[in-house]
Amino acid sequence: MTTTAKLPSRLHHTAYVAKDLEATRKFYEEVIGLPLVATWCEIDELFGSERVYCHLFFGLGDGSALAFFNFANPEDQALFGPPLPSSPFRHIALNVDHETQRDIEQRIAAAGYKEPQTYVLEHGYCRSVYVTDPDGMILEFTMDNPAAAVDAAQRRRTAHAELARWRAGDHTSNNGFRKAARG
């Protein structure tokens, strides 16, 4: 499938509800190193009621942000901020270079995070450092394997065929990077 539609230029922000904005600020700003770039305190007519909330934005290098809401009314907080399901397959993955990944790992360790709150996975095509925030959100800091960039055009060309293969029941791994690492 080829598309000629103009793509969004970048992620503007992704938003979540936080239980404690100061714990969220401390984690994202002091441990992870993302600057708090905006705090919006708002009162809006939303979904049939007046909602009073605070909205924090933590900046990323491309101008996008991770955003977190907290509601003044406990009923609103419960309505919009149900607990996150505990699954490592629901997470935010952020691209980092080697130095940034190393620095984040060091800050995570210095802040006292240990397994299972943090762990590393070698995917082959990338190395990922995972850490869980104060609300149970899993963050992944991914450093791409430079060799994977060489394979990117081929991945794009075969993406639909690989999906069709998987859906047809052929679940054979196509991650040659992991196969090569296992030897």
Task: Give residue 2's pLDDT.
Answer: 59
Q: By three-state DSSP, how is residue 24 classified?
A: helix
Domain boundaries, the chain: 1-82, 84-183
Q: What fold does the segment set 84-183 form as a domain?
A: 3.30.720
For residue 16 the two structure tokens come to: 């979540």
Q: What is the pTM of this model?
A: 0.85
Q: Is 112 buried (19+), middle (13-18) or exposed (0-12) by CB count in 10 A?
A: exposed
At the fourth CATH level, the homologous superfamily of domain 1-82 is 2,3-Dihydroxybiphenyl 1,2-Dioxygenase, domain 1 (3.10.180.10)
The residue among 31, 32, 18, 34 whose CA lies nearest residue 68 is: 18
Mean pLDDT by 10 residues, the chain (183 residues): 76 94 97 97 94 96 96 95 81 95 96 93 92 94 88 86 92 79 47
